[in-house]
Structure 1
């Protein structure tokens, strides 16, 4: 359900996925679309002039224009590079923050993510030593290593 505050492009994409088997039936798509709207967006929809929209594409374009300020803007790579582990911060807290930001960056930067995650750990951190001693080549490997060290950290608390 679209509430007027989340990403409008993402909402249309999810709606299209749910309606994929009916995507050729534009009239049905236009009739069902309002059922995915909450009150704020529904008021906008109800305020559209009769005959103003001729296709589902036009409807989604008008929707996107009205709610474009809610679209997610991807984080730049520089924001990931500016992160570092703080004194007293747990590996879990740091990695959660890191992956949340990493997932908001558009593009393929796996090698950068692997390098910066390692470099932003304290020099004496066991995970950094492990990553330096045995280089990893994929995000999955990095996440597996992080999980191992998070368990060790949790056991020590």
Structure 2
């Protein structure tokens, strides 16, 4: 349910996904859309002039122009490149922070993801050395190593 406080692009995308089967039926899409709106936003919808919307695309454009201030701007690759593990920070904290930021970046940057993750680790960190040994082509494989190092670190902290 959209209440005017969250990312409208995400809301429209989620609505489209739920309505995939009906995506060719513009009238149904327009009629079903208000059911995804909470009261304040529904009032806006209800205030639209009769006949002012000719298609679902036009409805979503009108919706987006009205609630544009709620949309989230994707982060740039620069925000990822500036991340590094701080002194005293755990691998788990750094890793979680890094991948959360990675998921906020618009575009396909999988090819630089592990390189920038690795560069953000201290030079003497065993995981950095491990990731440097073998060239990596996909993000999925080294994630197992990262998770193992995080687990070892957690086990060591619990043992103290």
CA distance in structure 2 between the partners assigned to 1:42 and 1:5 by the alignment = 13
How far apart, in 1, do the equivalents of 2:24 and 2:135 lie? Answer: 50
Find the counterpart in structure 1 of residue 106 from structure 2: 106
Kindly state the Cα deviation for residue 40 of structure 1 after the two structures are TM-superposed.
2.2
Q: Distance in 2 between matches of 1:111 and 1:59?
A: 37
What secondary structure, in the 3-state scheme, does the structure 1 residue paired with 2:85 have? coil
Q: CA deviation at 1:63?
A: 0.5
Q: In the TM superposition, what is the alpha-carbon distance from 1:51 to its structure 2 partner?
A: 2.1
Q: How does 1:118-133 map to 2 (within 5 A)?
A: 118-133=118-133
- Farther off after superposition, 96-105 or 49-58: 49-58
The equivalent of 1:68 in structure 2 is 68
User: Which deviates more from structure 2 when the two are superposed, residues 12-21 or residues 29-38?
Assistant: 12-21
Task: Tell me if 1:87 matches 2:87.
Answer: yes
* Residue 150 (structure 1) shift: 0.4
Change (3 A) 1:156 1:26: same
Q: Paired residues, what number? A: 157
Q: TM-score, normalised by structure 2?
A: 0.91
CA RMSD of aligned residues (A): 1.4
Q: Calculate the TM-score normalised by the size of structure 1.
A: 0.92
How far apart are residue 108 of structure 1 and its match? Answer: 2.2
Q: CA deviation at 1:119?
A: 1.3
Structure 1 residue 19 corresponds to structure 2 residue 14:
no
Aligned position for 1:30 = 30
Unaligned runs of 5+ in 1: none
**Corresponding residue for 1:39?**
39
Q: Distance in 2 between matches of 1:76 and 1:13?
A: 21
Quote the Cα distance in structure 1 between the aligned partners of 2:26 and 2:119. Answer: 52
Distance 2:115 2:97 in 1: 16
C-alpha displacement at 1:92, in angstroms? 0.7
